[in-house]
Amino acid sequence: MKSDNTPLTKVRYILLVRKIIFGFAVTFSSLFLISCESEFSPKPKGFNRIELPDPVYIQLPDSLPYKFSYSAFAKMSSDSSWISERYWIDLTYLELGATIQLTYKPIENNKKILAEYLADSYNLTSKHNVKAYAIDEAVVNLPNGGQATIMELSGEVPSPFQFHVTDSVNHFLRGALYFKTATKNDSLAPVINYVKNDMIRMLNTLEWND
């Protein structure tokens, strides 16, 4: 039988060979990618375990118009921001990357001034609404006979716990916990709870220096 060596047959043969080679190449590439994915797939980012010390408390100096017990592991310093006022202080937990910012305002028995301070406090909290998916507010009774309003913010917010407290006559004090980290608050939960307990201790031991 005479072989078919026409140009058309040769073209078909070449195309068939190319299809076979291409098929092997695709199959090999797919197997290579699957192998790479199974071997080099990224692992979830882990977080280092944070060792939290047993609470130890000391007293604020008498030079302030307020006093309470605060953590011995926090460094007290004057607020260095450009808007700071007298008696504004920071309590910084260096190893935890956390700071409690405390701002104090005298009321001078002026209900209008008190209303402005309360409004400012709520406005500062509401600024976190963009990233907070919940803000829980509660009014708690204090051992000194007064009341404090506490706000817990859930979500990726830099300030997950805040409070303000006043005697409605002479003193107004606001506290806010801040973190200088981009880590999600879920991973910071142990640290947040640790410092939050310190802040509750501050409120429960709060006294005014008149």
Q: Where are the domains of the chain?
A: 1-42, 57-208
Average pLDDT of 185-197? 87
Q: Please determine, for residue 49, whether its predicted confidence score (pLDDT) is greater than 70.
A: no
Find where tokens 């072989």 sit.
3
Split at pLDDT 50, 70, 90, the class of 50 is confident
Q: What is the pLDDT of residue 15?
A: 43
Between 103 and 33, the more confident residue is 103
Average pLDDT of 24-35? 44
Average pLDDT, the chain: 80
Q: Give the right CATH number for 57-208 from 3.40.1000, 3.30.70, 3.40.50, 1.10.357.
A: 3.40.1000
Split at pLDDT 50, 70, 90, the class of 184 is low
The Cα–Cα gap between 177 and 91 comes to 9
Backbone dihedral angles phi then psi of residue 80, each to the nearest 5 degrees = -100, 5
Average pLDDT of 165-181? 93
Task: Give the rounded distance of the alpha carbon of 58 from its chain centre.
Answer: 26
Radius of gyration over alpha carbons of the chain, in Å? 32
Average pLDDT of 133-156? 90
Split at pLDDT 50, 70, 90, the class of 162 is very high
The Cα–Cα gap between 180 and 96 comes to 10
Between 73 and 2, the more confident residue is 73
